[in-house]
Structure 1
Amino acid sequence: MSSGKPALSYCAQEVREHDHDRYLTALFVPAARREAVFALYAFNAEVARTREAVSEPILGQIRLQWWREALEGIYQGEVREHPVVEGLNAAVQNYDLERTPFETLLDARAADLDDTPPANLASLEAYAEATSGTLSVVAMTVLGYPDGAPARAAQLVGTAWALIGLMRAVGFHAQSQRLYLPDDLLQDHSVDRRGVFNLKPSPALNQVVRDVTDRAGELLLEARALKGEIPRAARCGLLLATLADRHLRDIARADYDPFALPAAAPAQPLRLTLRSLRGAY
């Protein structure tokens, strides 16, 4: 017997499987615009897992080049037969999305193929802004707010989200000898990299994680300071901030030890619903 609920599109299913937190926030986007947001997030999920999907950097470069050519095809009217490309094409055409942000995101993802840690916190933040921050701005554009305070808040929230995610993933990355911890902070706090790769906790490592998450918290505060300049209809594009708060609390409860973080519990839609009804994020 049918449940009466419409079947999820391919893009929506991909986001639900690979980026569940963004999937939940997309459910609060107006229905007419939701599929375009799912397409953006599915594109991001495809390119974000490039490093994990390949065994050698050259294969990752080939994968990213495929997406660059697919993007070029969209803007030249030669759309490749791929459900995410087709969904992205529809979003681009329906909302007149510019090509540059997608290129920015792809260029930034190429850094994932280099295992060298970012030089400093500013470099890490620039990476977070170019990836997740850019994605959030494009999603806000689909909502009808391509600039001004809504776009700036989206950039801030997206950047903070990426910084938090990278700190939550320290253990995962360390298992493949990768670090997204700023090199200058590692040196300032005398962090033993071999210990990180061996998943050994240390107060020094915890301090680095705290420095990065403190910066994420500052970005969220800056985004919320713009609330009065953001139309209520745009705030659904900022609900990742609510989920970011939950992750920051979990990291703090673990005393910033990235190896002691509990497995992320599923986000609670009720909290998102309440925040959305209040026009908060």
Structure 2
Amino acid sequence: MPEAPEADLAGFVRAHDPDRFLCTLFAPAAARPALFALTAFNHELARAREAASNPIAAQIRLQWWRDAVEEAAAGRPARRHEVATPLATAIGAGLLDPAALLAMIEAREAETEEDGLETEQDFVAWLRGTSGGWSAAAGRALGADPEAAEVLRALGAAYGLAGVLRSVPAHAARGRCLLPRDRLAATGLSAESVVATPHAPTVGALAAEMAAEGLEALRGARRDIPRGAVAAALPAVLAARDLMRLAAGREVPAPRGIGDRLAVTLAGLRGRV
């Protein structure tokens, strides 16, 4: 594919990940292209399983991205792709850490397993590596030190949890369930039953319970994030609002309403979440 200019990449992110697009607007202008590339990369990883007809095809897609990152890290010419090209530019400029990107790919491997995420420990690790991986990598791109990046990882994982819980019906429509099997079994559920009846009261009760737990963890999380890296923390603002809705058995509005956008804007202007 031809190389996309910065405006096109921003448009790509706005279309496919409007939440993180809004958050990125509160990053310094010079850092935004790298964050847009990171977000577009994350989107491509997230859709690897959705766009593939089987787990092996998904693994091939992930390997393509692994090769693209490793080639960019080695200084080889960027692949001509609307996302891989700007991603390589950000890697070459030292704004994105190849190791962090490879870790995000590795975390997505769990989605290609036929049996899904077996335990809650696996589920948490997956959240920290995927959505949390975006927040940690974005924070490092914005100058956060390793300790602050790990705080951001926890905040990002909370956003990932909210995303999984609000998307249970959408995932079920594609024949998928990303909730951990041990947690499902403890409630008398299975991945197959969730796919068959995603709106069942027992599924809603489990989602509300997990949302309440996630909200409690998020409220207790450290928030000492450098002001310059606040864009990487802003998804936590949406996570808190979404988890509160889900814990109360309410749906998350789609698209986002003015209240959600205003909450992110105010936190971004204050420079803290």
User: Any idea what the Cα deviations from partners look like across 1:127-166, whole Å, max 9, x if unmatched?
Assistant: 0111111111110011011312x21221011111111111
Deviates more, 1:242-251 or 1:160-169: 242-251
Letter of the 2:249 partner, please give it: A
Residue 131 in 1 paired to residue 126 in 2? no
Aligned residues: 266
Shift of 1:125: 0.6
Using the alignment, how far apart are the partners of 1:162 and 1:231 within structure 2?
22
User: Any idea what the Cα deviations from partners look like across 1:160-188, whole Å, max 9, x if unmatched?
Assistant: 11111111111111123321112122111
SS at match of 2:83: helix
Residue 272 in 1 paired to residue 264 in 2? yes
Using the alignment, how far apart are the partners of 1:232 and 1:193 within structure 2?
41
User: Any idea what the Cα deviations from partners look like across 1:172-205, whole Å, max 9, x if unmatched?
Assistant: 1112332111212211111255542222534432
Residue 237 in 1 paired to residue 236 in 2? no
* TM alignment of 1:80-229, pairs within 5 A: 80-95=79-94, 97-148=96-147, 150-191=148-189, 193-199=191-197, 201-223=199-221, 225-227=222-224
Shift of 1:217: 1.6
Aligned position for 1:252: 247
Question: For structure 1, which runs of at least 5 residues remain unmatched after alignment?
Answer: 1-6, 256-260
Larger Rg: 1
Question: For structure 2, which runs of at least 5 residues remain unmatched after alignment?
Answer: none
CA contact (8 A) 2:131 2:157 kept: yes
Aligned pair in 2 of structure 1 residues 200, 15: CA closer, same or farther (>3 Å)? closer
Letter of the 1:127 partner, please give it: W
Q: 2:25 aligns with which of 19, 27, 42?
A: 27
Deviates more, 1:233-242 or 1:271-280: 271-280
Aligned sequence identity (%): 36
Aligned pair in 2 of structure 1 residues 84, 185: CA closer, same or farther (>3 Å)? same
Aligned pair in 2 of structure 1 residues 277, 200: CA closer, same or farther (>3 Å)? closer
CA contact (8 A) 1:243 1:267 kept: no
Shift of 1:267: 4.8
Aligned position for 1:41: 39
Shift of 1:234: 2.4
Shift of 1:280: 2.8
CA contact (8 A) 1:132 1:158 kept: yes
Letter of the 1:265 partner, please give it: P
CA contact (8 A) 1:135 1:158 kept: yes
Using the alignment, how far apart are the partners of 2:210 and 2:176 within structure 1?
17
Shift of 1:39: 0.6
Using the alignment, how far apart are the partners of 1:137 and 1:146 within structure 2?
10
Aligned pair in 2 of structure 1 residues 59, 119: CA closer, same or farther (>3 Å)? closer
Q: TM-score, normalised by structure 2?
A: 0.89
Shift of 1:252: 2.8
Letter of the 1:154 partner, please give it: L
Aligned pair in 2 of structure 1 residues 11, 117: CA closer, same or farther (>3 Å)? same
Letter of the 1:142 partner, please give it: A
Aligned position for 1:51: 49
Letter of the 2:235 partner, please give it: L
User: Any idea what the Cα deviations from partners look like across 1:82-105, whole Å, max 9, x if unmatched?
Assistant: 232221122222235432211111
Using the alignment, how far apart are the partners of 1:76 and 1:41 within structure 2?
22
SS at match of 2:93: helix
Calculate the aligned-residue CA RMSD, in Å: 2.1
Letter of the 2:243 partner, please give it: L
Q: TM-score, normalised by structure 1?
A: 0.86
